[in-house]
């Protein structure tokens, strides 16, 4: 189990290229199961979760060819198995996304209940209710979701009880091969959902309304292969912007879509950063300045992303003033604040709100990551702290950040990976 050793107190300066979005790449990889033809996916990030999804596809019989830049050619003609085993699914929640494609194409699927970060309850009941509305027969046996639709799925008008990104994606994929028209209401609007829809359209799907709360899908008899490039990772981009702002530095991020980060950029401006935007680049300058505290409340897109909450909590720990951070999406996602307090932060928890009183600095300490974004926030805290910080259990961070220590080193950070 590895750790990151950080010697803080250095402003970050330089430029970075943003990686492909994990949260777009995973459903797109699952979506390749919808066709027997060959698909080619580009701009995949080099991450553990991507490798796990590739292993899962391989377990199902999919032929995979990976090039030196982690582009992947997927041959869906050789699928021999519709069972996604616990051994793979337990490590990554996105594994549930193979359920809809397998059921739509083959009329059956068996998928273990998924795992992932310990940040609260993320039930899959909305996925299952939607598939049942489309004619699937679903049972739960020995920890497996067993779904059958021997006559194929049929279109349905589905209103999701709550906004769910994974549920929207699973039902969107399943509906592409269903007979008739499916309408998804109260659908997730995240850019990653739009990217998946654009991928499916490139395969021949008939989809409209993506990016709004109502998506309409007209089923087609079959989908074909295509070439597709995954969108850049807005959460990775936001994380590095916050890290640079917290350390009083300056950065240029390239290969990014600024509109995906509108509310994050607004909050960084509120914190005192100078920001300029180009069509595919963002420059942030906080040179020599201490950030001002900001208040955030997480919400589904286009609200403030829950995946950026922990990073802004870290920013607030060394900001001027008091910032209130309210988490409305996941109930356990303020857990990283206890580790930050070990570093000298002043954070009080009231229900689902963290009240953060900024300090001039933090002090290095050994800390332990509890989930992916908490890991990133503790790295940011280590970058601004005096002395040495050791972030343990960084397997979490490797699930969502490509080469994080190398990218931070390129910006001047004193950070290195330790193995034990």
User: Which positions are catalytic?
Assistant: 117
> How is residue 5 written in tokens?
């050793």
d(Cα 25, Cα 19) in Å, to the nearest integer?
Answer: 11
Alpha carbons within 13 angstroms on the beta-carbon side of residue 292 total: 11
Helix (H, G, I), strand (E, B) or coil at 375: helix
Neighbours of 220 (CB within 10 A): 16
d(Cα 401, Cα 198) in Å, to the nearest integer?
Answer: 24
End-to-end CA distance of the chain: 6
What burial letters (b/e) apply to 343-363, b meaning 16+ CB within 10 Å?
bbbebeeeebbbbbebbeebe
Q: Which H helix or E strand runs over 388?
A: strand 388-392
Helix (H, G, I), strand (E, B) or coil at 182: strand
């Amino acid at each position: 189990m590895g750790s990151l050793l950080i010697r803080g107190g250095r402003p970050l300066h330089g430029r970075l290229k943003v990686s492909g979005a994990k949260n777009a790449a995973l459903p797109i990889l699952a979506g390749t199961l919808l066709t027997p033809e060959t698909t080619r996916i580009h701009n995949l990030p080099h991450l553990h979760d991507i490798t796990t999804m590739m292993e899962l596809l391989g377990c199902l019989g999919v032929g995979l060819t990976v090039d030196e830049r982690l582009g992947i050619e997927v041959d869906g003609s050789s699928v021999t198995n519709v069972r996604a085993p616990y051994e793979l699914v337990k490590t990554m929640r996105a594994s549930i996304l193979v359920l809809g494609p397998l059921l739509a194409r083959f009329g059956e699927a068996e998928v273990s209940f998924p795992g992932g970060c310990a940040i609260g309850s993320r039930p899959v009941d909305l996925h299952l209710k939607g598939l049942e509305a489309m004619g699937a027969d679903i049972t739960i046996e020995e920890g497996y979701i067993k779904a059958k639709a021997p006559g194929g799925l049929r279109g349905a008008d589905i209103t999701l009880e709550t906004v769910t990104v994974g549920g929207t994606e699973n039902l969107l994929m399943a509906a592409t091969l269903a007979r008739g028209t499916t309408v998804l209401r109260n659908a997730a609007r995240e850019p990653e959902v739009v990217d998946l829809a654009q991928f499916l359209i490139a395969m021949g799907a008939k989809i409209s309304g993506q990016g709004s709360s109502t998506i309409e899908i007209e089923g087609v008899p079959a989908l074909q292969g295509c070439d597709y490039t995954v969108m850049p990772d807005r959460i990775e981009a936001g994380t590095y912007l916050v890290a640079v702002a917290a350390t009083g530095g300056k950065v240029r991020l390239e290969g990014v879509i600024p509109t995906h980060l509108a509310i994050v950029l607004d909050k960084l401006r509120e914190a005192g950063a100078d920001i300029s935007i180009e069509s595919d680049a963002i420059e942030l300058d906080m040179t020599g300045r201490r950030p001002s505290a900001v208040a955030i409340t997480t919400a589904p897109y286009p609200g403030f992303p829950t995946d950026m909450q922990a990073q802004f909590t870290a920013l607030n720990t060394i900001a001027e003033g008091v910032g209130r951070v309210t988490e409305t999406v996941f109930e356990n996602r303020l857990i990283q604040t206890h580790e930050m307090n070990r570093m000298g932060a002043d954070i009080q928890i009231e229900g689902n709100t963290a009240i953060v009183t900024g300090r001039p600095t933090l002090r290095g300490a050994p800390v332990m990551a509890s989930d992916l974004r908490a890991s990133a926030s503790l790295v940011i805290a280590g970058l601004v702290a005096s002395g040495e910080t050791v972030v343990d259990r960084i397997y979490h961070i490797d699930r969502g950040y490509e080469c994080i220590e190398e990218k931070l080193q390129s910006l001047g950070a004193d950070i290195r990976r330790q193995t034990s």
